[in-house]
Structure 1
Amino acid sequence: MNIAVLSGKGGTGKTTISINLALALKANYIDCDVEEPNGFLFLKPIVDKTEKVMVEYPIIDKANCTSCGACVNACQFNALAKVKDEILLFSKLCHGCGACELACNYNAITYNKRQTGKIESGKVRNINCSRGILNVNEPMAVPVIRQLLKSISGGVNLIDCPPGTSCNVVNALKYASAAILVTEPSEFGLHDLKMAVGVVKMYNIPFGIVINKDDEKDNIIKRYCKEEKIKLLGTVPYSKNTAVLYSRGEILYDDPHHKVLFDELSKEVKEVISWN
């Protein structure tokens, strides 16, 4: 079972909920926030495996190229451009679809591979942990996310999704059988939560909401859940103690008070999601 943890906006505490809930559920942890994968900063697994993420990009043989521009017209991602009598390549925009090679009638295009990121795997507290890391200056995270999730193991896996509702999140959700949406009780939190709910509903999978930094009042998120009949899985109250533990890089689940919170949350998750 793959459970995706996502949020409509950054800074809601998605990774905090993910790593502590993974420990409570004894689930494997997969960090798909490949641009800023910070889950390992808290879990501190011993990394015993690293693999490269390679992507394809076109190579133009200038001896065969006639600068006809057919490849430029075929490219839907603006990775190729014709400037006077020369074809320019922007390799980091290339999606490796192969359209330019098919469009070329002069056998002037072949493909090579380059590294765009890496996957790291390890273990801690009897759970498997893995994360994708996108190379600096790389604009596309999807290839790293796809390779990370294709090698996902069996059992229960908690997928720490990227923030927002972009194609990065959509590609992570493709592998999910259930979802947990993390939000905060603010106007911005509600606005982006609604977008995240819309994305999850497209996949027709069970989901529920967790409120982080909860003010313990009848706030706008709780009212939204009632109005939309969405299951509120639980809350993590706003407190100085939580902030202090987080700032120290400590795991909340190791604190007795927070352990009770996440154990209760894990029970709610098992009730809402068809636990198998």
Structure 2
Amino acid sequence: MQENKKNSISIAVASGKGGTGKTMLSLSLFNSIKNKYDDVVLLDADAEEPNDLLFFDAEEISSTDVTQKIPVIDVNKCKFCGKCRDWCNYNAIFLLASTKFIKLTEELCHGCGACSVACEFGAITEKDASLGSVKNFICDGKKNLYEAMMHQGVMTPVNVIKVAHKITNKHKIRIIDSPPGTSCPFIHAVAEVDYIILITEPTPFGLSDLKQSISTLESMNKKYGVVVNKAGLGNRAIYDYLSSEGIELLLEIPFDKDIARKYSEGKIISDFKPELAKDLEKMFDYLLNKYGNSSN
């Protein structure tokens, strides 16, 4: 295994929108370094629609159920005063006091517990509701693949992502395939990592989405750099922006029909593009040396 004074780092791969190459880069980066360093894992944190496991011949070895507390309203004790409804920031409680009708919409509930605190009559208790799961898979003899997945109908994957981080934090090197966009799932996926790789493409939409991602990361005081996918397509505007803002360009992946074809067949790009595998390995070494941590 590669010796390095810094041997621990968590890197999230993110993008301002889907289809930019986030999963492609996550898979290729993981495959390029998994045999060089000790204790490398890949976490698919795109819990609404995870698909990293499609690229591996992997076997599930464990599954952790993710739950949250949701209220149970006892209509026999309820006075229909409306305090629980007023305290709910997510409009999950519907009340018609005149007809003594009250209903919880479980899909809107965030499990904050405010309603149970507000109730003065002991009419609200709590129960566990399953939100999703975090599964661990074994591949090539190593327990190095994790998948976060929320159940259909759940409003947000945030709690599933939080548990996925908690479970995988024990590993020295983590590559996290983040949810697309810049909303709450993205924020919670990158909140606890050491570095974020933003992948974009040299198009007007690519630049617009990149700016949104950067604005979000700047507000979080996170360290980040950029990989340009489909380089050679579009114009130079994205490069001018990176240069003017002093943002680090980590790597370019060329616009290549062979990459698109092989990826659509379920193949990991770095496995058949050795020059890309070497570039990704060099990029990771650089990030580990600059942003990594020392651990026993």
Q: Bin the TM-score by the shorter chain.
A: over 0.9
RMSD: 1.6
Q: CA offset at residue 254 of structure 1?
A: 1.5
Q: Deviations over 1:235-276 (max 9, x none)?
A: 111111101111110111210xx2321321331343244244
Q: CA offset at residue 217 of structure 1?
A: 7.7
Alignment correspondent of 2:83: 70
Aligned-residue identity in percent: 36
Equivalent residues of 2:271, 2:277 under 8 A apart: no
Q: CA offset at residue 96 of structure 1?
A: 0.9
Alignment correspondent of 2:226: 209
Answer yes or no: is 1:151 the counterpart of 2:167: yes
Q: CA offset at residue 198 of structure 1?
A: 1.3
Which amino acid in 2 is paired with 1:88?
Answer: K
Distance in 2, matches of 1:274 and 1:102, equals: 43
Which of residues 133, 138, 146 in structure 1 aligns to 2:154? 138
Distance in 2, matches of 1:56 and 1:263, equals: 47
Deviating 4+ runs (over 6 angstroms): none
Classify 1:118/1:213 alpha carbon distance in 2 versus 1 (closer, same or farther; 3 Å). Answer: same
Which amino acid in 1 is paired with 2:203?
Answer: S
Distance in 2, matches of 1:184 and 1:217, equals: 8
Q: CA offset at residue 10 of structure 1?
A: 0.9
Equivalent residues of 1:58, 1:111 under 8 A apart: yes
More deviation in 199-208 or 184-193?
A: 199-208
Alignment correspondent of 1:170: 187
Q: CA offset at residue 127 of structure 1?
A: 6.2
Which of residues 108, 114, 139 in structure 1 aligns to 2:129? 114
Answer yes or no: is 1:14 the counterpart of 2:22: yes
Answer yes or no: is 1:105 the counterpart of 2:113: no
Answer yes or no: is 1:88 the counterpart of 2:103: yes
Q: Deviations over 1:83-104 (max 9, x none)?
A: 2421121011111111101110
Answer yes or no: is 1:200 the counterpart of 2:208: no
Distance in 1, matches of 2:255 and 2:143, equals: 28
Answer yes or no: is 1:180 the counterpart of 2:194: no
Q: Deviations over 1:42-95 (max 9, x none)?
A: 133221111211121100011100111110011111111212421121011111
Unaligned runs of 5+ in 1: none
Distance in 2, matches of 1:68 and 1:91, equals: 20
Classify 1:180/1:228 alpha carbon distance in 2 versus 1 (closer, same or farther; 3 Å). Answer: same
Secondary structure at the counterpart of residue 291 of structure 2: coil
Count of aligned residue pairs for this structure pair: 274
Classify 1:265/1:225 alpha carbon distance in 2 versus 1 (closer, same or farther; 3 Å). Answer: farther
Distance in 2, matches of 1:263 and 1:78, equals: 51
Equivalent residues of 1:29, 1:127 under 8 A apart: no
